[in-house]
Chains A and B, each alone.
Chain A
């Protein structure tokens, strides 16, 4: 089954404790992206990647890191989480020939 898989689905952590949210897609898509979604603000892009080893900042990159060492994986790293990073996070991927994004199920993160 074609899908984008995020883990974990739910995470509660404390300020300053490094965490990684994984994202993997099995559709051989070139493009991958991370969003956060907060009430009333819609989807805001954090980082995106056009292909392996090619990443770039989105609209709200502060406090986040990403890497794209393999085509299928695009992890999101929070080196020192803060309460303002409490949010619902989505990973998405898109093939090179169609700008249609396929989303993972989401990760709900709470930083205490």
Chain B
């Protein structure tokens, strides 16, 4: 059974600090990795995608991928109360597949 694991949280971070969210996956052949943000009662929205080892930065967000250790992380710098949400990690097995394996999500709370 291919799995994506996330700590359910809640993860509480002071406003202005760095929030660090982690995700591990079981299938060593996984190719594509995504972070989605989901506000309570709303639909998931893509915030980052990463396909190769290393870091990818987009504004206050940085995704980090380490295929050897099978983990992907999301860093949020200068955390804002509006970042409070559940963050879902999703992993795609092969470039030709649309199927995503989803983690259950980490709830992030930014304290003013």
Report if A103-B45 is in contact (Cβ < 8 Å); known contacts: A40-B8, A42-B88, A43-B88. Answer: yes
Cβ-defined partner of A42 (8 Å) among B32, B92, B103: B103
Interface residues on chain A, number (Cβ under 8 Å): 20
Cβ of B24 to closest chain A Cβ, rounded Å = 14
User: What are some 10 contacts across the A-B interface (CB < 8 A)?
Assistant: A33-B98, A42-B88, A45-B100, A48-B98, A99-B95, A99-B98, A100-B46, A100-B49, A102-B46, A106-B41
Complex-state Cα separation, A104 to B43, whole angstroms = 7
Complex-state Cα separation, A40 to B88, whole angstroms = 12
Chain A interface, DSSP helix/strand/loop, else mixed: strand
Q: Do residues A40 and B43 form an inter-chain contact, with CB atoms below 8 A?
A: no
Cβ-defined partner of B32 (8 Å) among A40, A48, A99, A105: A99
Tell yes or no: B25 within 8 A of A by CB.
no
Chain B residues 82-98 with CB under 8 Å of chain A are 88, 92, 95, 97-98
| Contact mask for chain B residues 7-29; partner A; CB cutoff 8 A; 1 contact, 0 none | 01000000000000000000000
Q: Do residues B43 and A105 form an inter-chain contact, with CB atoms below 8 A?
A: yes
Chain B interface, DSSP helix/strand/loop, else mixed: loop
Closest residue to A6 on the B side, CB-wise? B43
| Contact mask for chain A residues 1-36; partner B; CB cutoff 8 A; 1 contact, 0 none | 000000000000000000000000000000101000
Cβ of B75 to closest chain A Cβ, rounded Å = 21
Report if A105-B42 is in contact (Cβ < 8 Å); known contacts: A42-B88, A42-B102, A42-B105. Answer: yes
Cβ of B54 to closest chain A Cβ, rounded Å = 20
